[in-house]
Structure 1
Amino acid sequence: MLALEHLFLWFLLYSFAGWVYESILVSISERHLVNRGFLNGPLCPIYGCGAVLAIVLLHDLTNPVEIFLISSFGASVLEYATSWGMEKLFHARWWDYSHFRFNIQGRICLLGAIVFGFGGVLIIDVIQPQVERLTAMIPLMAVHVMCVVFAIAVIVDTIITVLGIVDLSDHLAKFGDAVQSRVEEAGDSWQWGKEAFRDKMRDLSESSQERIVGMRHLASSALNWQQRRMIRSFPRMRSTESTKYSKIIETAREMLRRK
């Protein structure tokens, strides 16, 4: 039982480290602070799962080349499976590596595999021995309490997140219809997509800019908090149901970014 509790605590630790890593990368890329991660809390579970699997399966290996190769392959399989599963469940692609060379269906890429390979070596040879030493110092009762509290928090967070995002397509359709109705009432034309929205903003007068503020409120009312957070957190997120929904996501993201 204690071994499983330690694995759970390590899962949380590496999930948090993955969240920090992802948030820094995306924030730099987007040039503004991004709270990256599928869950509301500061966790990227895919990193925690990958790290714990590596710890369980590779702890007896001493050859860094073997650790690197197995970590690269295993993490890529996990990332591909996660991307596929989330796409089937939520009808959306959360990340896309199509702009990188040597990618497979945009789900995984060679650069990511290399990073994960080095990460596996770093965890197994450098970080995890120190983590195990520190974990062993935590009193047994504290371990039990921490595991119960964190497990409840993660379960509740997961339920809230899934319930909030599962009907994303319906909300995108609602948002699209609301914007089109608003535009038609004003006798104007409208095109979906990031670039089309930016061009529209440049062409609008100051009075018309106020109409965009109203559309931003439409985005806030048609899309729930979870959906808005996801759209902000995943810059390459797109719908797998229709190109129009993907363009609506791009437009909503641009609207939500504007104060």
Structure 2
Amino acid sequence: MTFSKAVFLYVLGGLVGTVWETLLNLFRGRGFVFCNGSIFTPFNFVYGVGAVVIILLLKNRKKWWQVFLIGSLGGGLVEYILSFLEEAVLGTRSWNYSHKFLNINGRTTVPYMIFWGLLCLAVIYIVYRPLDNWLETFPKKAMKIAAIVLFCVIAIDWMVTVSALIRYSARAEGTAAATFIGEWIDRVFDDAFMKRRFPAMKIN
């Protein structure tokens, strides 16, 4: 997989994830919650990373049960690791499945892992081949430039989002900003903003 394709897969996977999670909240009666999980871009990072990992691990697998098994385990592992890292680094949790059936430390569940496996089957056998062929129709130079621009935007978004989340957690603990950057973050991305943007997030 080329760098350009990886970036576009992240973008497409992230967009689909945002739409899916937003519709899921509406269906569950929670109202409109824009579930992008970041400050600037509409790309849900869990689904974006998941899409890239799925394709890297499974695009050359021939047997459907291998795709399902590896997809289930891989999807659950990605979800678990991202949840663990978020809590360890940021002191926050965007999802907690402790109350759900067959959960694994509240970070993922067996039913969700089965969902990841089924999703992988759909991605590999229905979505990926046509998508890969479609991406091949674009001029490689233009695609590379677009991928670099998108990557820079995503990287900036990640840096700002992580910084804002760190300060959000620190403010909850009563820790004042130690630098002018921290003070700027506190002014621009205050608690009211963060609660609107990340309504499901819990601070430990």
TM-score (norm 1): 0.68
CA gap of 1:108–1:230, structure 2 versus 1, over 3 A, is farther
For 2:83 and 2:51, locate their aligned partners in 1 and report how far apart those are by CA, in whole Å: 18
For 2:46 and 2:32, locate their aligned partners in 1 and report how far apart those are by CA, in whole Å: 21
The Cα of 1:102 is off from its aligned counterpart by 0.3
For 2:73 and 2:63, locate their aligned partners in 1 and report how far apart those are by CA, in whole Å: 16
For 1:135 and 1:226, locate their aligned partners in 2 and report how far apart those are by CA, in whole Å: 40
Tell me the residue number matched to 2:35: 36
CA gap of 1:12–1:117, structure 2 versus 1, over 3 A, is same
Give the unaligned 5+ runs of structure 2.
175-185
Report the AA paired with residue 10 of structure 2. F
Tell me the residue number matched to 1:47: 47
For 2:48 and 2:63, locate their aligned partners in 1 and report how far apart those are by CA, in whole Å: 23
Report the AA paired with residue 24 of structure 1. L
CA gap of 1:227–1:145, structure 2 versus 1, over 3 A, is farther
The Cα of 1:230 is off from its aligned counterpart by 4.4
Identity %: 26
For 2:81 and 2:151, locate their aligned partners in 1 and report how far apart those are by CA, in whole Å: 24
Mapping of residues 8-157 of structure 1, within 5 Å: 8-40=7-39, 41-157=41-157
CA gap of 1:60–1:148, structure 2 versus 1, over 3 A, is closer
The 8 Å contact of residues 96 and 106 in structure 1, kept in 2 or not, is answered as yes
The 8 Å contact of residues 165 and 227 in structure 1, kept in 2 or not, is answered as no
Per-residue CA shift, 1:127-183, capped at 9, x if unaligned? 000101110011122202211210111111112212212122343356xxxxxxxxx
For 1:235 and 1:105, locate their aligned partners in 2 and report how far apart those are by CA, in whole Å: 22
The 8 Å contact of residues 97 and 106 in structure 1, kept in 2 or not, is answered as yes
For 2:187 and 2:29, locate their aligned partners in 1 and report how far apart those are by CA, in whole Å: 22
Tell me the residue number matched to 2:179: none
Give the unaligned 5+ runs of structure 1.
175-221, 241-259
SS in 1 for 2:56: helix
Tell me the residue number matched to 2:202: 238
Q: Which has the higher helix share?
A: 1
The Cα of 1:64 is off from its aligned counterpart by 1.6
Tell me, yes or no, if structure 1 residue 163 matches structure 2 residue 127: no
TM-score (norm 2): 0.84
For 1:237 and 1:105, locate their aligned partners in 2 and report how far apart those are by CA, in whole Å: 17
CA gap of 1:31–1:46, structure 2 versus 1, over 3 A, is closer
Per-residue CA shift, 1:196-247, capped at 9, x if unaligned? xxxxxxxxxxxxxxxxxxxxxxxxxx8853654543455543222xxxxxxx
CA gap of 1:103–1:229, structure 2 versus 1, over 3 A, is farther
Tell me the residue number matched to 2:6: 7
Task: Tell me how large the CA RMSD over aligned residues is.
Answer: 2.1
The 8 Å contact of residues 168 and 190 in structure 2, kept in 1 or not, is answered as no
For 1:229 and 1:112, locate their aligned partners in 2 and report how far apart those are by CA, in whole Å: 30
For 2:170 and 2:63, locate their aligned partners in 1 and report how far apart those are by CA, in whole Å: 51
Tell me the residue number matched to 1:257: none
